Amino acid sequence: MGKPQFATVTVILPSGRLSVEMMEVAQEVAVKYGLGIYFSLSQNLRLTGVKDEDLEAVKVPFAALGATFKTPGVLHKPRICTGEKYCCLGKYDTEALSDHILALYAEIPTKPKLKIALAGCKNMCSNPLTTDIGVVGTNKGFDIYAGGRGGSRPAIGRRVGKDVDEKTVLEMVGKIIEYHNGVDAKKLRLCQWTDNTAFPYAEV
């Protein structure tokens, strides 16, 4: 498979939020450089059809707004549902929990293929069961799942935490990230390693 004809620039949108200012910049840049605009399943903004010679110029106006871009070795920001702020079924503020996770772990170098999804209730709109680390709001706290995967060989994560508090969620996410980073493989999905005796949590 050869190199794609055009490049893609992925602008990270914390909690999937796109500000009015960012919308205006996206429109201006897309018109100026003849780009497509695509919102990824990870809730980020992608600019498609970028010529190699325009890559850095395309990023400049977004960087001026404080935006960051998808880069290797950086923890994927969690995919979230709208949570209790905007949904009557939500049990917690998914946006706030996402911010707490990123504040603790975004600066830690992280191996590729580790993703997190946060769901405000057991309807699981953000698909936490098919994500490496999934957090689900319950009436008594949070359930935590590990080892989920989508794609051509989907896997359902196993529950490793039941009705825990937010402090425990943050600790468990940190330990799973640490474990994933310590596995001797460049690229892996967590589901390949949850049966390992060194995995820090048993199924509950």
pLDDT along the chain (204 residues), means of 10: 76 88 96 94 92 95 92 86 94 96 91 91 96 97 96 92 98 95 77 88 95
Position 187 scores a pLDDT of 64
Helices marked H in the chain — which ranges?
A: 20-33, 55-63, 94-105, 166-182
Q: Rounded to the nearest 5 degrees, what angle is found at the Cα of 115, between the Cα atoms of 111 and 120?
A: 155
Question: Quick one: how far is CA 41 from the chain centroid?
Answer: 9
Position 66 scores a pLDDT of 92
Position 3 scores a pLDDT of 61
Position 113 scores a pLDDT of 82
Position 134 scores a pLDDT of 98
In the 8-state DSSP scheme, what is residue 33? H
Q: Rounded to the nearest 5 degrees, what angle is found at the Cα of 180, between the Cα atoms of 174 and 182?
A: 105
Position 141 scores a pLDDT of 97
- Give helix 20-33 / helix 55-63 axis angle, nearest 10°: 160
pTM: 0.84
Position 107 scores a pLDDT of 85
Position 99 scores a pLDDT of 94
CB 162 within 8 A of CB 147: no
Residue closest to 70 by CA, chosen among 34, 110, 130: 110
CA distance 103 to 75: 11
Position 186 scores a pLDDT of 65
Position 2 scores a pLDDT of 56
